Structure 1
Amino acid sequence: MLAETICSAVSAAGLGIAAVTAYRKRFLAATRIAAYSLVPIGLVLTGVVEWVSNIAFKPSVWLGFGVLGVAWLLFMITRAVERRGVGTRKERRAAARAAQSDAVAPAASAPSLGAGTPAVQPRAKAKPKQQTAAPGEDFSDIEAILKKHGI
């Protein structure tokens, strides 16, 4: 009852301000103020204010919000622990065993180095690495990409 009275008073005051604004020949602003001042009385008439006041003043509703907050907090804690990789001893042992085991085909996961070399030829010994250019000196590959795209 109190919330409805307050909303009605706010609407009446807003309509009064809109009338004064219209008297000053500021019709666009007066219309906007009138629209805003009709919102509280509209909420009262639709029952939204009563619904909100019932939610705000019931202890069981606040207890429910508290339970939801605790549930959310527990979810966030478990996600943080999961991201850190902390698990049970059994999970850690299984992860350690999986890390120690060798791959079934170690060469299968190696990246291919030659694009057109046949697989039958044996690889030659690795050549000594060439001196790499200092950063910022060799932009030929970037220039080629830019020329390809017309830039």
Structure 2
Amino acid sequence: MIAETICSAVAAAGLGIAAVTAYRKRFLAAARLAAYALVPLGLVMTGAVEWAAETAFSPVAWAGFGVLGTAWLLFLGTRSAERRAGGTRKERRAAAKAAQRDAVAPAASAPTLGAGARPTAKAKPAAAPAEDFSDIEAILKKHGI
């Protein structure tokens, strides 16, 4: 009962300050003050203040908060243990897929054009990359074209 009275007094004082602020032509600030002042009044009207007052003096409620805290600590502990063990399931799947992709040689499908692959008999000084067709001519001759 006393908590409701205090909240109602705070709301009335806040609305009074908002009225004075509006009188000084600061309407935006007055509207903001009125919004803050109406919150405690709304909490009294919904019964949230009474519930909070009953909860503060209830041993069962405090035991419930203890259970929630224990659950929170267990959750955090399992998350940290999971990170130390190698991450979440999603991360382990991504690592397995990456290992599977890396198992095949990534350069196996790339053409091998080293220094020994070019025919040395037709070695010309390359004036420009657009004019050096010796590799293409060798491939075409090899296939009989």
**TM-score band, normalised by shorter chain:** 0.5 to 0.7
Q: Across the two proteins, how many residue pairs are aligned to each other?
A: 95
**CA spacing shift, 1:43–1:75, aligned 2, 3 Å:** closer
Alignment match, 1:142: none
Q: How much identity, in percent, do the aligned residues show?
A: 67
CA offset at residue 7 of structure 1? 0.6
Q: Which residue matches 1:115? A: 109
TM-aligned CA distance change 1:14 to 1:73, over 3 Å: same
Structure 1 segment 59-74 matched on structure 2, within 5 A: 59-74=59-74
CA distance, structure 2, for counterparts of residue 112 and residue 27 of structure 1:
68
- C-alpha RMSD of matched pairs (Å): 2.5
Question: Which entry has the higher C-alpha Rg, 1 or 2?
Answer: 2
Compared CA separation, residues 63 and 20, structure 1 to 2 (3 A): same
What is aligned with 1:56? 56
Aligned residue for 1:114, secondary structure, equals coil
Please name the residue that 1:137 is paired with.
none
Shift of 1:32: 2.6
Q: Which runs of 5+ in 2 are unaligned?
A: 86-102, 112-145
Report the equivalent of 1:20.
20
TM-score, length basis structure 2:
0.53
Residues 21 and 79 of structure 1: CA distance in aligned 2, closer, same or farther (over 3 Å): closer
Deviation at 1:82, TM superposition (A): 4.3
Structure-1-length-normalised TM-score = 0.52
Moved more, 42-51 or 30-39: 30-39
SS at match of 1:113: coil
CA distance in 2, matches of 1:80, 1:28: 47
Distance 1:110 1:69 in 2: 49
SS at match of 1:115: coil
Output the CA distance in 2 between the equivalents of 1:49 and 1:41: 10
Deviation above 4 Å: which 4+ runs of structure 1? none
